Structure 1
Amino acid sequence: MIDYLNNPQDPFDDILIALPLLRYHEQIDTQLTGSDSETYSNTLGSIFRAKQPSFTSLLSAIGNTDGSMKLPLSREFTLRRSACLIALKQEITSVLCYRRPFRISLPAHYYNGLALSQKDQYDDYDWTNHILIWCAYVLKYYYGSESDTDIAEDAQTRTDQWQSLKAFEEQWKLLDPNPLDPFFYQERDPGRGQFFPVVWQAYDHKVIGMQQLEFGRMVIAAHGRRILGLGAAAATRAIEEQLRQSTRIICGLALSHRIQPAMTGASTAISLCGECFHDPGEQAAIADLMATIEREYAWSTSSVMDSLYKSWNSL
């Protein structure tokens, strides 16, 4: 690893592909080890900081909208792109689960390219990748960055960055047709014991894109929380309802598709917003879902549920 960092001529691909795989197994092994040391997450952050020009070029290529990106891509580029996106999604999950600063150093001004204009050539995969990058910037804005360079640059443009990230969410609501609209949606029906909506997407990547969009909305809603003053209580209730709604959609997507990334996304959403659920029926549905995630998908949820039970019982 040290030799790789010290030798700029070494290929970027091998280690970029290996680390997300190792990080995935590290996350799964928390059921056995009892804790998540984030060893490979830390290593990946160091790699991205050391190879910042390569990562910046790759991120720009992922968001490229001109016709050249529609030509057949080399095997090396597609592997590198996939590994980069997986690493970015893993970092998003870790930041949300542990409420820590972002470790992957994102290009300081790339968020300016997140606007929805001039995206006519985007397909469903492009939109999912675009939302993933947007969500990463939202989390970096909210939780901060461990990179000294990012901290210095963000201090100068923080207001512009927030406006750009918020504008993306507002513009997304106006897209018609919306690239991530499900082909079937059924509202939840608590009276019949259905506490999460049924959300069917045509492809798995659209499931992930829709979940990442809701994660971004959660963080944006939490950022706007008012603590004091007239109207603060009503604003807090509105924010909690937004958090509940986003969590329901994320969990509904997971239950509707039963794929591992969506299930772990549901676990992350519940760890973030589970305290906002006060209805005993919804609490029981959450507990059942978390038990399923741990039993069938080997994703540790016990510590989250222990904390939630304490919170629910204290109300």
Structure 2
Amino acid sequence: MNKNGQHQFSLSSEKTRLGWYEACALNDYDTTVGENVFASALILRLIEEMTEPQAGSNVTSHALSAQLLIRIKAGNITESTLADAAFLVTLRQEIFISNLTQQPMGSIAEHCNIDTSLSPTSDPMWAYRAIALSAKATDFAYGDEESRTKHQWQGLRKYLDDWESLRPPSFEPIFRESERSSSNPFPSLQFCNDYHVAASQYSELSRILLLASDPSVCKIRIRRLGQGRNHDDAIRESVRLICGVALANRQYMPARSTAGLAISMCGELFHDSTETVLLLELLTDAESHLGWPCLKVKDDLKQLWGLSDNT
């Protein structure tokens, strides 16, 4: 969507927007809704998320909330692979927004027909498991402090370790650059297809969230300067891996978006100018691609890193 389209969409009043949702076929609970209608509603929700908000409005305020989508899908949506795929888009969207607003995302991952066991399955399902784990890690990281128990953390960490040890060999990079150069300090990892790229990045995102919320060493670490530094080196390395995957697999555009998310979450941990210049380029690329209002953290990080637009 170009900027003119975003501007025109943002001119719609809240009343008009709500009116369209109220007229939506999804609100007819007596009729089974086809997969195309459901998928179209999710696309509309995505456009709403990417639209510049009016002053003082909440960028995460949806007329069609994730929890409402769960109720609709459970009640009157024809089960299909298209409906499942559309819901996976919503899951990834919620992971982005929840991490950027530092809020738990709820139980949406449980409604995406993802087999979260670690039994043998297809490569796409192994990738979906990694995405579902990052959703659970997001909930753990930003949930109530009382609910963040060591036992729960250990369960999530064990799942991550088991996922990495049991995943098929096809998830290994087809090319790995062992030496890092001064011009590119990030590891270069090339994968066979987009499922492997996504799985690699989301597993590292889960690692970041679990390291940042390890109850044995600190409270939630992300964006809280001056607190526990026990896992900062490991968090930085996970961010480097996510960014390296994005740079080495440029044909897979969502990888750059995931890199932008990791940078926006953990950019404050980087101080080496060789890295921060590349991080800023990746973040700029992600913001330009998404047009997502709440992913606009570039100016804050530029100031923190002491960089300019001409750097």
> Structure 2-normalised TM-score?
0.73
Equivalent position to 1:79, from 82, 86, 89: 82
Is 1:206 the counterpart of 2:201 in the alignment?
Answer: no
The 5-angstrom pairing of residues 204-283 of structure 1 reads 204-224=194-214, 226-227=217-218, 236-258=228-250, 259-283=252-276
Q: In structure 2, what is the equivalent of residue 68 of structure 1? A: none
Is residue 26–residue 72 contact of structure 2 (8 Å, CA) maintained in 1?
A: no
Alpha-carbon distance in 2 for matches of 1:12, 1:144 = 35
Secondary structure at the counterpart of residue 184 of structure 2: coil
Equivalent position to 1:100, from 94, 100, 103: 103
Deviation string, structure 1 residues 274-315 (Cα, Å, up to 9, x no partner): 1111111111111122233344665669841211133335xx
The 5-angstrom pairing of residues 19-58 of structure 1 reads 19-30=41-52, 37-40=59-62, 43-51=64-72, 53=74
Deviation string, structure 1 residues 125-159 (Cα, Å, up to 9, x no partner): 110111111221221222239xxxxxxxx96x966
Deviation string, structure 1 residues 2-21 (Cα, Å, up to 9, x no partner): 57446254326345312332
- Aligned letter for 2:80? F
- Aligned letter for 2:159? F
Deviation string, structure 1 residues 200-223 (Cα, Å, up to 9, x no partner): 111112211211111111101011
Q: In structure 1, what is the equivalent of residue 139 of structure 2? A: 140
- Aligned letter for 2:208? M
Alpha-carbon distance in 2 for matches of 1:180, 1:210 = 8
Q: In structure 2, what is the equivalent of residue 91 of structure 1? A: 94
Deviation string, structure 1 residues 169-198 (Cα, Å, up to 9, x no partner): 12134337545211111146243x112221
Is 1:18 the counterpart of 2:40 in the alignment?
Answer: yes
Deviation string, structure 1 residues 24-82 (Cα, Å, up to 9, x no partner): 33344339999872344x61314234347459xx9xxxxxxxxxxxxxxxx96111111
Kindly, what percent of the aligned residue pairs are identical? 25
In the superposition, relative to structure 1, how do residues 50 and 114 fare at CA in structure 2: closer, same or farther (>3 Å)? closer
- Aligned letter for 1:208? A
- Aligned letter for 2:104? P
- Aligned letter for 2:180? D
CA RMSD of aligned residues (A): 3.8
Structure 2 unaligned regions, length at least 5: 1-20, 220-226, 307-311
Alpha-carbon distance in 1 for matches of 2:142, 2:282 = 28
Alpha-carbon distance in 1 for matches of 2:99, 2:32 = 32
Secondary structure at the counterpart of residue 264 of structure 1: helix
In the superposition, relative to structure 1, how do residues 272 and 183 fare at CA in structure 2: closer, same or farther (>3 Å)? same
Is residue 186–residue 199 contact of structure 1 (8 Å, CA) maintained in 2?
A: yes
Deviation string, structure 1 residues 246-295 (Cα, Å, up to 9, x no partner): 11111112112223211111110100011111111111111122233344
Q: In structure 2, what is the equivalent of residue 305 of structure 1? A: 298
Q: In structure 1, what is the equivalent of residue 176 of structure 2? A: 185
Q: In structure 1, what is the equivalent of residue 285 of structure 2? A: 292
In the superposition, relative to structure 1, how do residues 278 and 35 fare at CA in structure 2: closer, same or farther (>3 Å)? farther
Q: In structure 1, what is the equivalent of residue 125 of structure 2? A: 126
> Structure 1-normalised TM-score?
0.73
- Aligned letter for 1:45? A
- Aligned letter for 1:275? E
